[in-house]
Amino acid sequence: MAQREKVIILGSGPAGLAAAIYTARAQLEPLVITGNELGGQVATTNEVENYPGFPEGLTGPELVERFREQAEKFGARLEFDEAVAVEFREQPPHLVRTHGGEYEADAIIVAVGASPRKLGVPGEKELTGYGVSYCATCDGFFFRGKDVVVVGGGDSALEEGLFLTKFANSVRVIHRRDELRAGPFLQKRAFANDKMSFIWNTVVTAIEGDGKVERVKTRNVVTGEEGELETDGVFIYIGHYPNTDIFKGQLEMDDHGYILVDRFMRTNVEGVFAAGEAADPIYRQVATSAGDGVKAAMQVERYLSEKSGRELVGEEA
């Protein structure tokens, strides 16, 4: 038999844990199903300096731990498990299946986040957080006076590359084609920036360094020529993908798999809300995800209160 809950939060990144804090304070006793990594993407960030309230900065894992402690202080329960299937019904309760069991909930907040697409080359995983990054806004400040490379050719690659020029000594953009996919305005700005240069028809085949990024191996896709570039950092922008596969066919999404929500964080299914990067293809920041989680939590509290009132009126009638 499925375990019954008032509120289930799927995901334990900034959106999920912020939602847990607010729903717990509203005495809704939320159950947080953490996913396969407590904290989501921010847990892999070496240092966080742009989250309000921490002028001295802190590591991603430290920030996640503070979120977790605060949520549990108010009564949120964390289950270190992963949702593997859902059954969203016409009316709640909705069903969530995990590796460890089954749950029914009157309201669900989907905060499963998104993942950056990886190059899948040797050294990438080992040096993530030590020179390999997927977020210039998060980590660019730490590359003041350094030389970095950006991998990609779309809007994100150029936007983040231009941001990096505020700190880095040089930004070399490595792109597998001979022209960019980014919009004309971004291209114009990038080509006009003295700190930016471009390496065309080239892919990164390995990232190397002793405890930190020191160089990348490259291959020209036209000539086959192999090369090596010294660099202090590698910023990878070949796209993100939302972790929303298990919701396909049940929640409305855009063409890229991001969940569609209204301004109240409601999905197309009654009692199901979404927050954070699973529903945000644009900002992807700790602060904005936490804000989304707060909004979703407040709407869940209102939704359950209104539903309880409707049921009470029905019983009296």
What pLDDT tens digit does each residue of the chain (317 aa) get?
899 999 999 999 999 999 999 999 999 999 999 998 899 888 867 678 789 999 988 888 899 999 999 999 999 999 999 999 999 999 999 999 999 999 999 999 999 999 888 999 999 999 999 999 998 878 899 999 999 999 999 988 998 899 999 999 999 999 999 999 988 999 999 999 999 999 999 999 999 999 999 999 999 999 999 999 999 999 999 988 999 999 999 999 999 999 999 999 999 999 999 999 999 988 888 999 999 999 999 999 999 999 887 665 555 54
State whether 212 and 262 are in the same domain: no
Residue at 295 is within a domain: yes
Full domain range(s) for residue 220: 132-236
Which position among 135, 232, 280, 292 bears the catalytic label? 135
Does some domain include residue 276?
A: yes
Note whether residue 303 is domain-resident: yes
Name the active-site residue from 106, 139, 280, 292: 139
C-alpha to C-alpha distance for 66 and 57, rounded to whole angstroms: 13
Asked whether residue 123 is domain-assigned, the answer is no
- Residue indicated by tokens 């900034």: 14
Task: Supply the pLDDT for residue 283.
Answer: 87
Helix, coil or strand: residue 197: strand
Q: Are residues 112 and 138 in the same domain?
A: no
Same domain, 213 and 310: no
Is residue 139 part of the annotated active site? The answer reads yes
- Does residue 289 form part of some domain? yes
In a domain, 125, yes or no: no
One domain for residues 7 and 112: yes
The answer to whether position 281 is within a domain reads yes
Identify whether 138 is a catalytic site residue: yes
Residues in the chain: 317
Q: Report the alpha-carbon distance of residue 84 to residue 137 in Å, rounded.
A: 32
Residue 146 sits in the same domain as residue 163: yes
Residue 106 annotated among the catalytic residues of the structure: no
Whether residue 111 is found in the same domain as residue 256: yes
Please say which residue of 220, 236, 252 terminates a domain. 236
Which distant-in-sequence residues (6+ apart) come within 8 Å of 13 by Cβ?
Answer: 39, 40, 41, 42, 43, 111, 113, 276, 277, 289
Instruction: Write the CATH number for 225.
Output: 3.50.50.60
Q: Is residue 23 a contact partner of residue 76, using CB atoms and an 8 Å limit?
A: yes
Q: What per-residue confidence (pLDDT) applies to 316?
A: 53
0.75 exceeded by pTM: yes
Pair 228, 272 in one domain: no
Domain final residue pick, 236, 270, 293: 236
Query: For the chain, how many structural domains are there in total?
Result: 2
| pLDDT given for residue 155 in this prediction | 85
9 and 72 share a domain?
A: yes
Give the pLDDT of residue 46: 64
Please report how many Cα atoms fall inside a 13 Å half-sphere around the Cα of residue 54, on the Cβ side.
14
Catalytic, out of 81, 106, 138, 292: 138
Residue 96 CA to its chain's centroid (Å): 22
Same domain, yes or no: 188 and 227: yes
What are the Cα distances from residue 193, in Å, to 152, 162, 163, 205, 304?
A: 17, 8, 11, 27, 53
Do 173 and 187 share a structural domain?
yes
- What is the C-alpha to C-alpha distance for residues 166 and 51, in angstroms, rounded to an integer? 19
The answer on 249 and 230 residing in a single domain is no
14 and 92 inside one domain? yes
Q: Which domain-ending residue is among 193, 211, 236?
A: 236
